[in-house]
Homo-oligomer: A and B are copies of this chain.
Amino acid sequence: CSSSTPITATLFPGDGIGPEIAESVKKVFTTAGVPIDWEEHYVGTEIDPRTQSFLTWESLESVRRNKVGLKGPMATPIGKGHRSLNLTLRKELNLYANVRPCYSLPGYKTRYDDVNLITIRENTEGEYSGLEHQVVRGVVESLKIITRQASLRVAEYAFHYAKTHGRERVSAIHKANIMQKTDGLFLKCCREVAEKYPEITYEEVVIDNCCMMLVKNPALFDVLVMPNLYGDIISDLCAGLVGGLGLTPSCNIGEDGVALAEAVHGSAPDIAGKNLANPTALLLSGVMMLRHLKLNEQAEQIHSAIINTIAEGKYRTADLGGSSTTTEFTKAICDHL
């Protein structure tokens, strides 16, 4: 595998702790002999009129060309007249599904030791339509948009994911008892796709009940698919079960075969530049990227090295109760390779 021609991938280190944890990924990947050439892009310092945001046009072109990338945290600068960096990426690259595996890490104790699920979030519409207005003074409305096209697309992705990853069940999460038309359409699309996958068990769970079941017994769930806002909420809840966003990876899937793996935690400006950040979420997101590229051998090697380093417990960053620096933790992972 290490003899194959290198693949070019876009790297957005992001800001805050982003550059440090991106450095960790580069180090680990190099040590593992991963055949990747990184094309690094930073967030711009002024608004690029072509993206209406601080993201440069060149950086988007880079992902479009390479069709694969890894992204660290990006804090959207405060001010008017530009769009959120994360939302711009999703819209411009048509990243329609956000996939977040969430599993208990051996040796890292939380209140749960039996979590092993995948949330798949519709990433382009729903409550994130951006359509809002004031009806009269003191009365405002937001529009939640659900389309058949986007719902079928994410449902298809979820069932295909389940089938190709040895998963047995897909749960569609909804509030169709209240939003009969929007969430109702989402469910209708899920049902249509479910019929094409008779080997996968399909169920529908109301979001309030789902959250209650998740905190009582997360082992009940396997693959969960849902509209945008529910995905935002439930994926963070699930991350909390196993220790937080610092430990959970994600990958965004686009229509044109684009995959942008992403650490969804914040940029932690308070500890930026201090060599204290935990690179685990970005590293595990990198592993998702490798699997997407079918570099399975290196993906598994790196995955095991990360998991084993955390399990051993000798080198852990402060957020996990340890006192290692980012570079010490990174070196420990490299030593496990």
Contacts and interface: CB of A to CB of B under 8 A. Distances in A.
A3 interface: no
Given A111-B112, A142-B182, A148-B139, A211 B211 contact: yes
A209 B236 contact: yes
Interface stretch (A30-38, A59-67, A239-247, A275-283): A239-247
Q: So how many copies of this chain end up in the complex?
A: 2
Contacts of A216: 110, 240, 243-244
B149 A141 contact: no
Contact of A244 (B139, B212, B240, B243): B212
Interface in A297-329: none
A237 B212 CA distance: 4
Interface centre among A112, A216, A239 (most CB of B within 10 A): A216
Contact of A132 (B148, B177, B181): B181
A31 to B, nearest CB: 32
A23 interface: no
Interface string A123-150: 0000110001111011111111111110
A219 interface: no
A245 B211 CA distance: 12
A185 interface: yes
A215 interface: yes
A204 interface: no
Interface in A133-173: 133-135, 137-149
A235 B229 CA distance: 17
B128 A178 contact: yes
Task: Give chain A's interface secondary structure class.
Answer: mixed
Contacts of A214: 237, 240
Contacts of A178: 127-128, 229
B211 A179 contact: no
A232 interface: yes
Contacts of A143: 141-144
A201 interface: no
B134 A181 contact: yes
B144 A144 contact: yes
B215 A233 contact: no
25 contacts: A110-B216, A111-B111, A111-B215, A127-B178, A132-B182, A134-B181, A135-B145, A138-B149, A139-B145, A139-B146, A140-B147, A140-B184, A141-B144, A141-B146, A141-B182, A142-B179, A143-B144, A207-B232, A207-B233, A208-B233, A208-B235, A208-B236, A209-B236, A211-B237, A212-B244
Interface of A: 84, 110-112, 127-128, 132-135, 137-149, 175, 177-182, 184-185, 207-209, 211-216, 229, 232-237, 239-241, 243-245
Q: 4 closest A-B pairs (Cβ-Cβ)?
A: A138-B148, A212-B240, A215-B240, A132-B181
Given A141-B146, A233-B233, 11 more contacts: A111-B112, A141-B181, A178-B229, A207-B233, A208-B236, A209-B236, A211-B211, A211-B234, A212-B240, A215-B215, A215-B241
